[in-house]
């Protein structure tokens, strides 16, 4: 506001100076013409007696009359005659002069000090600035008090956040925040809620992981003690085999825990690249062929003809998703049954189905099995209860979802992952086998 007032005074001073110069010039011209009109009616010999005036230092206006005789008046006599307006300097002072004549024997000069013209403009500008010296300090105090009062609620919110302990994730009170900051408080509360859920999930996850790892570690210790204390070679070999089984189970649990941790700490766009799911699924299923053959299972891979199977994502995570789906099917079905992996398209999404002919999962437990460390009671196969939760997390990470259903007209489980397709595909990448055929025999793997 002070700057605005100073700028206003500056421009007003210049505008006023221009206006005063114009008015003063008109006044000089009118005075000179009026004086010339008066002098023309006075006899020449009386002019010096009538118009002679004593010159005083404080005098603002001066004049001079030139006749055929000697000049008169109190105007300085230096300078050459020139009709119209001009600026001259006399005795160190600047004057604004207007000269006129009757075209014969009489000439009139009227002048005003330049300091008078400049003083008018400066006086007006000073009067404009007078309110600044009073209003500026008053306004500064009022604005400071108003801002302090207006930001008081925000300062209270800030103090409340600053005084919180790292473990206090309770929401902020929105009533204490001004309406302008309310969206920020709501966003902070949403963040605190997510942090609270994440902390609770990590705490529960750590507790469950410790519990799950305690069982194989205890079994390994027990069998190791048996192997070290027995003198029977056969019993020692059996105990060592159980130790290796426990190590394998613990290793699998650790791998799945690391996979979950990687999903939790990765972002949606991290390492995202176009991936041909046909090649990825075919390679993953081929790597799991020995597991199927070992249990005398029929593992087949089917591809819908001319399917567009290009998605954007993380190849390692997607391979882990397929591996967990197939492993879950191979583990929980009896020997001699069948597992089929199918790729097809629905609108703008790719469908990955893993269909098995096992006992399936009861309807009321199909959502529960997606929880970490949850296992269906009565399951004889070994496992940690992390496989389907990993699949669901990876699918969600790629913008998809996992649904569990049952085979129509027969027992078994249908695990379906729906993933959004990459728009535009990839030029030069083969997305499917033209034949679309299936090759599978009992105790073997069919890939096409």
Per-residue pLDDT of the chain (448 residues; tens, 9 = 90+): 778 877 877 787 778 778 888 888 898 889 888 888 887 777 766 665 545 444 455 667 787 777 655 455 544 444 556 778 888 887 777 888 888 887 767 778 888 888 887 787 777 767 777 777 787 788 889 989 998 888 777 787 788 788 888 888 888 877 767 777 788 888 888 888 888 887 877 777 677 677 667 767 888 888 888 888 887 888 888 888 888 888 887 787 777 777 766 666 665 555 678 888 899 999 989 988 888 888 888 889 998 887 778 888 888 888 888 988 888 888 888 888 888 999 998 888 899 999 888 787 777 777 777 776 666 655 555 556 677 888 888 888 888 888 888 887 777 888 899 998 876 544 434 333 333 333 443 344 554 4
Domain 2-124 has CATH 3.30.450: yes
Between the CA of residue 279 and those of 128, 301, 429, what are the distances in Å? 83, 11, 10
Q: In the prediction, which pLDDT does 211 show? A: 66
Do strands 401-406 and 273-276 pair parallel, antiparallel, or not at all (unpaired)?
A: unpaired
Q: In the prediction, which pLDDT does 145 show? A: 92
This prediction's pTM: 0.49
The fold of 268-447 is Heat Shock Protein 90 (3.30.565)
Q: In the prediction, which pLDDT does 399 show? A: 86
| Distance of alpha carbon 167 from alpha carbon 201, whole angstroms | 15
HEC string of 39-93 equals HCCCCHHHHHHHHCCCCCCCCCEEEEEECCCCCECCCCCCCCCCCEEEEEEECCE
Do strands 61-66 and 401-406 pair parallel, antiparallel, or not at all (unpaired)?
A: unpaired
Domain 176-263 has CATH 1.10.10.10: no
**Residue boundaries of the structural domains of the chain:** 2-124, 176-263, 268-447
């Amino acid at each position: 506001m002070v700057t605005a007032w100073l700028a206003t005074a500056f421009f007003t001073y210049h505008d006023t100076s221009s206006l005063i110069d114009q008015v003063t010039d008109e006044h000089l011209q009118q005075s000179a013409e009026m004086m010339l009109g008066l002098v023309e009616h006075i006899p020449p010999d009386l002019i010096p007696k009538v118009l002679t005036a004593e010159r005083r230092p404080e005098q603002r206006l001066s004049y001079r009359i030139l006749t055929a005789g000697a000049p008169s008046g109190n105007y300085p006599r230096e300078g050459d005659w020139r009709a119209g307006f001009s600026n001259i300097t006399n005795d160190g002072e600047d004057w604004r002069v207007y000269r006129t004549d009757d075209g014969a024997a009489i000439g009139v000069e009227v002048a005003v000090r330049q300091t008078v013209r400049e003083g008018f403009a400066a006086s007006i500008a000073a009067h404009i600035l007078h309110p600044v010296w009073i209003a500026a300090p008053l306004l500064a105090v009022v604005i400071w008090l108003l801002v302090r009062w207006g930001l008081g609620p925000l300062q209270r919110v800030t103090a409340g956040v600053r005084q919180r302990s790292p473990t206090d994730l309770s929401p902020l009170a929105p009533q204490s925040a001004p309406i302008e900051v309310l969206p920020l408080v709501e966003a902070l509360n949403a963040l605190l809620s997510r942090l609270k859920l994440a902390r609770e999930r990590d705490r529960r996850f750590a507790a469950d992981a410790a519990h799950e790892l305690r069982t194989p570690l205890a079994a390994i210790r027990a069998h190791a003690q048996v192997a070290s204390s027995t003198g029977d070679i056969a019993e020692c070999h059996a105990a060592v085999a159980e130790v290796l089984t426990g190590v394998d189970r613990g290793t699998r649990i650790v791998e799945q825990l690391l996979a979950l941790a990687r999903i939790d700490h990765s972002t949606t766009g991290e390492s995202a690249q176009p991936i041909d799911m046909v090649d990825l699924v075919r390679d993953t299923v081929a790597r799991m062929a020995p597991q199927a053959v070992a249990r005398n299972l029929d593992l087949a891979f089917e591809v819908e003809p001319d399917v567009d199977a290009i998605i954007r994502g993380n190849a390692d995570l997607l391979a882990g998703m397929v591996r967990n789906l197939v492993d879950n099917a191979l583990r929980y079905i009896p020997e001699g049954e069948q597992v089929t992996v199918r790729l097809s398209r629905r609108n703008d999404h790719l469908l990955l189905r893993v269909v098995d002919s096992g006992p399936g999962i009861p309807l009321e437990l199909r959502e529960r099995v997606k929880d970490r460390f949850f296992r269906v009671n009565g399951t004889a196969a070994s496992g940690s209860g992390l496989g389907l939760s990993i699949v669901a997390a990876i699918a969600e990470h790629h913008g998809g979802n996992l649904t569990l259903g049952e085979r129509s007209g027969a027992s078994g489980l249908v695990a379906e992952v729906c993933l959004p397709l990459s728009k535009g595909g990839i030029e030069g990448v083969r997305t499917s086998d033209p034949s679309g055929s299936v090759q599978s025999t009992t105790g073997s793997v069919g890939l096409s």
